[in-house]
Structure 1
Amino acid sequence: MGWRRNRKTAAESEAIEVHTQAQEAAATAVDPAKPLLVVEGVERTFQTGGQPLHVLKGIHMELLPRQLVMLRGRSGSGKTTLLNMIGGLDQPSKGTIFFHGMPFHDMSDDQRTKVRRKEIGFIFQAYALMPLLSAYENVELSLRMAGVPGGEWKARVEHCLELVGLAKRMHHRPFELSGGEQQRVAIAKSIAHRPSLLLADEPTAELDSQMAAQIMSVFQTIIRTEQVTICMTTHDPTILEVADHVYEMVDGKFI
């Protein structure tokens, strides 16, 4: 009798947990038709030698939830500058940027930093890993910096590294990993704090075509499982076919 009662209690607890998870999922559901980020009429001008250098010239774009968007263009076309604008690392000289409805273009540095810490992940071409830390410790560090409670670290780090196919290599340091594996660690690190937007600057530039294809496969997996939007820059025509949308940049404008 006691065994049946315990079994019932366990079943009830499981049902409550499932119901709670469903409620949380519903609460955080995102309207796929509503833009995550909107860029309107953005211009960026730098002063060089007393002369204005117009890098961005009236950019209009939208990022929809759970999409892979690519900014394609040659070096110097303005795509990295635009990525910095989207990520709040720089502000436009003119125009507006709304992220989750918030006026990114009108925020202070501190306000943008707080948004980035919670909502945006970055992947850099040079991986940006701490050389003396293992893959596990590199991902854990990102959770520390984001202020995630310590009790969540272990499960989240292991999940992210398993997601990118490095479950068996998590205790290796960067110099013990291939370029493709280091990029996967960088991806795991960038998604650990559960951002809604992931920005990647030429993430496949240092990789051969096979490794590049694997990284794009990882991107597609995390879009599906982590419910994240990815915006990346590239000049590699071989990976464009996996994108939901491609913006072609020439001389600071979309064509």
Structure 2
Amino acid sequence: MAVQQAAPLLEVRGVHKSFISGGSPLQVLKGIDLTVKSGQLTMLRGRSGSGKTTLLNLLGGLDQPSEGEVLFRGRPFQDQSDRQLTMLRRKQVGFVFQSFALLPLFSAWENVELSLRMAGVGKSQWKTRTARCLELVGLTKRANHRPYELSGGEQQRIAIAKAIAHKPALLLADEPTAELDSQMAAKIIAIFRDIIEAEGIAICMTTHDSTLWEAADVVYQMADGRLEPE
């Protein structure tokens, strides 16, 4: 009996994206086709200006394509209202950015717990889930420290714990290692692999660091708004 392949979590079909610049259209994405599957680490590689961040914004429903469609679990983002997209992002998607986006007066624990509150997770789950996420990123012993008491790498790990607290199906990370040294960058990728194994989610990240590509399940090269699988 043939084994049925699981459907992609996310599909991008014939996507173009243009912006108006100086009164003229600027085409940033030029016919992107892409799939992202649960349980995989997907990397989008390319130089600055290649369209990586624009594509990542479309994958998270933060923006809409000029042409083509983005489907999450088979349903196009374009068919959903702003409220539905907001709820989908809140429940199903986590975001990690270069800037750590942590609240400076909150401890690491409080930053992670806040993500659960905003996602509407029941209060009875906050303590267990917050502890679990801090454990996954290896910062249980730093739970009571505020961001200014943590290194850059530790802050990024807290940002990752915060992004996965509500158990999203998809984690999107825009250059999450860009501000880190090579040793800490490798640590972040190892954490991503641990999270995939433990949570079964899909992670899609952008990077220009060639030392990280071998850790991915799928790597796409971006250049001039186009995408090609490795």
Task: Quickly name the TM-score band, shorter chain normalised.
Answer: over 0.9
Q: 2:150 matched to which residue of 1?
A: 177
Q: 1:231 aligns with which of 204, 207, 215?
A: 204
Q: 2:114 matched to which residue of 1?
A: 141
Q: 1:77 matched to which residue of 2?
A: 50
- TM-superposed deviation, 1:33: 3.1
Q: 1: CA distance between counterparts of 2:117 and 2:221?
A: 37
Establish whether residue 92 from structure 1 lines up as the match of residue 65 from structure 2: yes
Larger radius of gyration: 1
Q: 1: CA distance between counterparts of 2:179 and 2:74?
A: 35
Q: Secondary structure at the match of 2:157?
A: helix
**TM-score normalised by the chain length of structure 1:** 0.87
Q: 1:47 matched to which residue of 2?
A: 20
Establish whether residue 115 from structure 1 lines up as the match of residue 88 from structure 2: yes
Bigger CA drift: 72-81 or 32-41? 32-41
User: In angstroms, what is the RMSD of aligned CA positions?
Assistant: 1.0
Aligned AA for 1:58?
G
Contact 1:73 1:248 in 2 (8 A): yes
Say if 1:193 and 1:32 are closer, same or farther in 2 by CA, change over 3 A.
Answer: farther
Spell out, residue by residue over 1:56-82, the C-alpha distance to the aligned partner (whole angstroms, 9 max, x if none).
Answer: 000000011110000001111000000
Q: 1:124 matched to which residue of 2?
A: 97
Aligned AA for 1:107?
Q
- TM-superposed deviation, 1:218: 0.3
Aligned AA for 2:108?
A
The structure carrying a bigger helix percent of its residues is 1
Spell out, residue by residue over 1:167-196, the C-alpha distance to the aligned partner (whole angstroms, 9 max, x if none).
Answer: 000000000001110011001000000000
Q: 1:105 matched to which residue of 2?
A: 78
Contact 1:34 1:65 in 2 (8 A): no
Q: 1:205 matched to which residue of 2?
A: 178
* 1:12-91 equivalences in 2 (<5 Å): 33-91=6-64
- TM-superposed deviation, 1:108: 2.1
Contact 1:32 1:65 in 2 (8 A): no
Q: 2: CA distance between counterparts of 1:168 and 1:183?
A: 16
Higher relative contact order (CA 8 A, sep 6+): 2
Aligned AA for 2:78?
H
Aligned AA for 2:44?
L
Say if 1:191 and 1:32 are closer, same or farther in 2 by CA, change over 3 A.
Answer: farther
**TM-score normalised by the chain length of structure 2:** 0.96
Q: 1:27 matched to which residue of 2?
A: none
Contact 1:32 1:64 in 2 (8 A): no
Q: Secondary structure at the match of 1:213?
A: helix
- Where do 5+ consecutive residues of structure 1 fail to align? 1-30
Q: 2:215 matched to which residue of 1?
A: 242
Aligned AA for 1:187?
I
Spell out, residue by residue over 1:10-34, the C-alpha distance to the aligned partner (whole angstroms, 9 max, x if none).
Answer: xxxxxxxxxxxxxxxxxxxxx8632
Say if 1:203 and 1:54 are closer, same or farther in 2 by CA, change over 3 A.
Answer: same
- Where do 5+ consecutive residues of structure 2 fail to align? none
